[in-house]
């Protein structure tokens, strides 16, 4: 039976979950996978934490050199996070010929080209299932499940924190600020939640997933990003009245004009499978030319779900002798021949405060028409004596046309556009 030694860098939430799965399922892996996996080393500054998890003191390393020089270690698992020490440690491991498994989306998004170059040079494996969507096996699906397809679109809820906040705003009618405080109290959101609520986390993941789906490097800088901090409960309730629910979506499309990659809040029709994904759950909806539509759903973060993805990579690496690398030229800036679409197409939701006077609605409709924007749904609410609230949902149009229409309406004196949200098609 093949024996594989593992080292874990960092025993925080994810590293601790990984250690538990590896030690508690050791006999199960021997029986079902015919591989003997043992944790031979951990790098954890908090020795008490390691000992509390059951790590023998002699297996607690004091520095990365002890780990990479350990001949019993075949696979190094990185769960430290960030791009400082984690990047150095992963490169040290790869340069020592160790296979690496990482859950670090920011590291992989920004430096996969550098890591893969080191892995190829030393014939080492590089695995990253846990970097995207926690325990949901979306990367393995793209690499080994739907590779017979040309993927033309991918749409997902890939950040649990924002999905929890938007779910609470929709179901309880609370404000963004109150929902965020609740998420922080439950441990779903960090004290500084900006990586999640401003869309950075989802954009890192989309960069990775789109690269795999479309077989070209999609740099993080190419991802359009807009967070949820400006979302109001009023807009969520208006959308609900029109049959929509609001999600922070990561959208990737491969079109004749080029690739679209964007992260932003968007309304989804209540009948769409993604509309039912609530709380901290995640899902990715993939469309391929042969398979049609596939949706993957599950826990997008957490100790055991993410640990599950890491251990899945460890087992895959332990049971496959040939290392696989990118199907595209993996460089920092990507292929200069790849075109990215900035003026993407979408339907739009507008909320306007309108001066309540004769002919105002017709004039606003004419301003939209000037930019080839047609209105699909309209809802009017009375305001005070001088104003009314107008809610519009448009047919599909271009991003730049929508922005130009907003500027023109705001300058007209007829109305003020209070909010704009995209509507997923």
Per-domain residue ranges of the chain = 2-131, 138-299, 345-423
Architecture field, domain 2-131? 3-Layer(aba) Sandwich (3.40)
Confidence (pLDDT) at 383: 66
CATH topology match: 138-299 vs 345-423: no
The pTM is what?
0.96
Positions in the chain whose pLDDT score sits under 70: 383
CA 295 vs CA 137, 151, 292, 327, 410: distances in Å: 11, 13, 10, 23, 40
Catalytic hit among 98, 105, 110, 205? 205
Give catalytic status of residue 205 as yes or no: yes
Pick the CATH number of 345-423 from 3.20.10.10, 2.40.50.100, 3.40.50.2300, 3.30.70.260: 3.30.70.260
Confidence (pLDDT) at 361: 85
Pick the CATH number of 138-299 from 3.20.20.60, 2.60.40.10, 3.60.9.10, 3.30.360.10: 3.30.360.10
């Amino acid at each position: 039976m093949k024996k594989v030694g593992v080292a874990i860098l960092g025993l925080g939430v994810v590293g601790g979950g990984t250690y538990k799965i590896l030690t508690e399922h050791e006999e199960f892996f021997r029986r079902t996978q015919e591989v003997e996996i043992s944790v031979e080393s951990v790098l954890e500054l908090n020795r008490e934490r390691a000992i509390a998890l059951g790590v023998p003191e002699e297996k607690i390393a004091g520095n990365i050199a002890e780990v990479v020089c350990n001949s019993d270690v075949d696979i190094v698992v990185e769960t430290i996070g960030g791009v400082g020490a984690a990047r150095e440690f992963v490169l040290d491991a790869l340069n020592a010929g160790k296979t690496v498994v990482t859950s670090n989306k920011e590291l992989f998004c920004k430096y996969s080209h550098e890591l893969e170059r080191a892995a190829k040079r030393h014939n080492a494996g590089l695995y990253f299932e846990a970097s995207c969507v926690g325990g949901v096996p979306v990367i393995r699906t793209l690499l080994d499940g739907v590779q017979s397809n040309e993927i033309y679109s991918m749409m997902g809820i890939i950040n649990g924190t924002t999905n929890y906040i938007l779910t609470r705003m929709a179901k309880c009618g609370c404000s963004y600020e109150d929902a965020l405080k609740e998420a922080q109290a439950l441990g779903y959101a960090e004290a500084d939640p900006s990586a999640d609520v401003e869309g950075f986390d989802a954009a890192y993941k989309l960069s990775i997933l789109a690269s795999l789906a479309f077989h070209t490097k999609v740099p993080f800088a190419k991802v359009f990003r807009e967070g949820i901090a400006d979302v109001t409960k009023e807009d969520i309730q208006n959308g609900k009245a029109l049959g929509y629910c609001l999600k922070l979506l990561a959208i990737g499309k491969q079109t004749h004009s080029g690739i679209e990659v964007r992260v932003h809040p968007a309304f989804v029709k209540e009948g769409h499978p993604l509309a039912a994904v609530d709380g901290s759950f995640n899902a990715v909806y993939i469309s391929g030319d042969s398979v049609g539509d596939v949706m993957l759903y599950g826990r997008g973060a957490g100790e055991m779900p993410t640990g599950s993805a890491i251990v899945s990579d460890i087992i895959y690496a332990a049971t496959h002798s040939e290392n696989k690398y990118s199907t595209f030229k993996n460089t920092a800036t990507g292929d200069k021949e790849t075109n990215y679409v900035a003026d993407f197409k979408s339907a739009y939701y507008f909320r306007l405060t309108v001066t309540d006077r004769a002919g105002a609605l017709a004039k606003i409709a004419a301003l939209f028409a000037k930019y080839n924007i047609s209105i699909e749904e309209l809802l009017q609410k009375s305001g005070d004596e001088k104003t009314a609230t107008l809610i519009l949902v448009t047919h599909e149009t271009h991003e730049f046309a929508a922005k130009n229409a907003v500027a023109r309406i705001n300058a007209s004196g007829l109305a003020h556009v209070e909010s704009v949200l995209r509507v997923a098609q």
